Amino acid sequence: MGTCCILCKETAARTARGVSDWRGSGNTSKPFFHCLWNTRGIIMKLLLGISALAFLMQAATPLKICAFNIQSFGDSKLSNEGISEIIVKILSRYDIALVQEVRDADLSAVSELLERLNSASKHNYAYEISESLGRENYREMYLFLYRTKSVSVVDKYQYSDKNNAFSRPPFIVKFSALNAKDDELVLIPLHTAPNDAVAEIDALYDVYLKIIDKWGTDNMMFLGDFNADCSYVGKNAWSSIRLRTSEVFKWLIPDSVDTTVGNSNCAYDRIVVSGSKLRKWIDPKSAQVFDFQSAFKLSQEEALAISDHFPVEVTLKSR
């Protein structure tokens, strides 16, 4: 029978010569236990190696983020099974999804959406939501849905809009990627009032300065329905928007795309990033519109029943 290690070979040779082994005990069975222990050590090393590989694979998981204006999202929209099914399919594509135009004072629609999302997806989702925001009687909420095994919420902040610059002031959330060390990003949503789009987009620069002062980071992502095109933001208006003219910011969704479901051709919905760390994390080719009408083979009428906007999305690369 073969021997498995140097100690066993030496012991076998000594035994064949009639020489007692293992420190004179004469017990030739102990090398067997040595080999058993040695094998156990090898197995443990293999298991540790597999665990380390699994951790690295998990840590390398990219993050997919979207901003989706779901027109007048509430109980009525969610009560339609066909519409709610498509909404869940869309949102389940993302690690973090910003939903705008949430009109759900008692959060019944939000709670049901979360339940349906968790039932349909292999991932567990949680949410953060703003208070009702708006001028006069028309009010909306910002909703962040996120995968609990991908990110965690570090902090949140309802922007104090002392100058009344925004119709719906940003509800800002700082996330941490769970599988990557020191990878935090701040998401700043905005749904502008169309006729005030230029002033509101420009005022995001002041939000940028506030977050640097408050949290000491410039790794920010501004996202949402900015109404940043066509008659609301003309070509001549861009020069007065600091979020556009400053080299600090990178606009990921270009002016040339169409983010609307209907017959218009406007790049209303945008994603803008700042911070050298976050900009390196971005996969620039991933920034795009998700055309759910084509993806799910819907008619324009069916698509418009879901929303008049397509989501815009981007992927943060594995680190």
Q: Do residues 277 and 192 share a domain?
A: yes
41 & 82 share domain? no
Cβ atoms of 164 and 196 closer than 8 Å: no
- Domain-located, residue 141: yes
What radius of gyration, in Å, describes the C-alpha atoms of the chain?
A: 28
In a domain, 304, yes or no: yes
Q: Work out how many domains the chain is built from and give that number.
A: 2
Residue 190's nearest CA partner among 163, 159, 216, 232 is: 159
For residue 303, give the nearest of 76, 82, 140 by alpha carbon.
82
Q: Which of 140, 184, 200, 313 is catalytic?
A: 140
**Is 24 a domain residue?**
yes
Residue 273 belongs to a domain with what CATH number? Answer: 3.60.10.10
Whether 123 sits among the annotated catalytic residues: the reply is: no
Question: Is there a single domain that holds both residue 134 and residue 267?
Answer: yes
Maximal CA-CA distance, the chain? 101
What's the confidence (pLDDT) of residue 47?
A: 52
Give this prediction's pTM. Answer: 0.82
- Among 101, 184, 191, 309, the one annotated catalytic: 191
Residues in the chain: 319
d(CA 286, CA 55): 25
Q: Is 246 exposed, middle or buried (0-12, 13-18, 19+ CB in 10 A)?
A: exposed
Residue 19 domain-assigned (yes or no):
yes
42 with 128, same domain?
no
Active site residue 302: no
Residue 194 lies in a domain: yes
The reply to whether 42 and 77 lie within a common domain is no
Check whether residue 72 and residue 50 sit in a common domain.
no
1 in a structural domain? no
Domain that holds residue 82: 62-316
Q: Are residues 132 and 192 in the same domain?
A: yes
Instruction: Choose one of 35, 57, 79: the last residue of a domain.
Output: 57
CA-based nearest residue to 221, from 233, 207, 235, 239: 207
Which residue matches tokens 């090898």?
Answer: 42
Any domain includes 284: yes
- The confidence score (pLDDT) of residue 44 equals 57
* C-alpha distance across the termini of the chain, in Å: 50
Last residue of a domain, one of 57, 74, 100: 57
My answer on whether 150 and 206 are in the same domain is yes
Q: Is residue 294 part of a domain?
A: yes
Query: Are 128 and 39 in the same domain?
Result: no
Q: 282 - beta bridge partners?
A: 316
What's the confidence (pLDDT) of residue 136? 85
Residues 269, 155 share a domain: yes
Same domain, 47 and 160: no
73 near 104, Cβ under 8 Å?
yes
Residue by residue, DSSP assigns 129-179 as: EPPPB-STT--BEEEEEEETTTEEEEEEEE---TT---SS--EEEEEEETT
221 plus 169 within the same structural domain: yes
Full pLDDT tens readout for the chain, 319 residues: 555 555 455 555 555 555 544 444 445 555 555 555 455 655 555 555 444 444 444 445 899 999 999 999 999 999 999 999 999 999 999 999 999 999 999 999 999 999 999 999 999 999 999 999 999 899 999 999 999 999 999 999 999 999 999 999 999 999 999 876 668 999 999 999 999 999 999 999 999 999 999 999 999 999 999 999 999 999 999 999 999 999 999 999 999 999 999 999 999 999 999 999 999 999 989 999 999 999 999 999 999 999 999 999 999 997 6
